[in-house]
Amino acid sequence: MMMQRRIKRDYRRLSPAKFLAFILTVRRSLTNNPNYPDTFWGANFALLQLLLEKTDAYEGAHRAASNGDRLMIHDRVRLMGEIVAILDEIASLLDAASVRNPDALFTTGFSITQEHRAHPRGKVPLTSSNDFTVINLGEPGKAMGSASTVPGAFNHEIHINRGDPSREADWFHGSMFPNASAMLMENLIPGNTFFRMRHHGADGPGPWSPTTSVTIT
């Protein structure tokens, strides 16, 4: 019998006071967490920063609303909806990145569900996506990667190279994505840039895709 751990999305049903306590716990848990360092967040670091900013705003709105400020009650409801959307995205990233180390999820501040599998899943060898593409979105530093997923893939990793694509030392980690069909990259340096991607599954990463290049504006 196997154990699968996932983040519970039960934060949607919390009362305003409990929701505040929850997001403060998540913020504290994800700050300087050695299981999820800056290299893990990569291009998604702005998402973590947005959570921190929205948490501060929610904390202020909650205090004002608790004192009877009707305008802040409306703001608190609006902020809660925005934060839930951010939490959903972060939870997907953490779930995907923790396949090989599920115990790390217990350090995130989220509630964790543990599911027993009566029949272990067969291992599926990962293959590369031969249709990986990157397009310039026409906005400074932004590009969108896209590829078909493959059986057994849980998340998808992009590497970036602004030098010689034949030199392994010139490649560096860009980010991890839960959806291979829409891999948004931001804060890229302008100029000709090479990209490659690979899928991650239960046994780690698969082979690299063919390299593609695009000029970043």
Q: What is the pLDDT along the chain (217 residues), one digit of tens a residue?
A: 445 788 988 898 899 999 999 999 999 999 888 888 888 888 788 888 999 999 999 999 888 888 776 777 888 888 999 999 999 889 888 888 887 778 888 899 999 887 655 555 555 688 998 999 999 999 999 999 999 988 888 788 899 999 999 999 899 888 888 888 899 999 999 999 999 999 887 667 889 999 999 999 9
Pick the CATH number of 133-216 from 2.60.40.420, 3.40.50.720, 2.60.40.10, 3.40.50.880: 2.60.40.10
* Cα 185 versus chain centre, distance: 12
pLDDT value of residue 64:
86
Residue 209: DSSP 8-state: P
Cα 91 from Cα 109, distance rounded (Å)? 11
pTM as predicted: 0.54
Cα 117 from Cα 102, distance rounded (Å)? 15
Residue whose entry in the numeric block shows the structure tokens 């929850």: 22
Cα 64 from Cα 206, distance rounded (Å)? 50
**110 token code pair:** 């989220």
pLDDT value of residue 178:
80
**Three-state DSSP class for residue 104:** helix
If you compute the radius of gyration of the chain from its CA atoms, what whole number of angstroms results?
Answer: 20
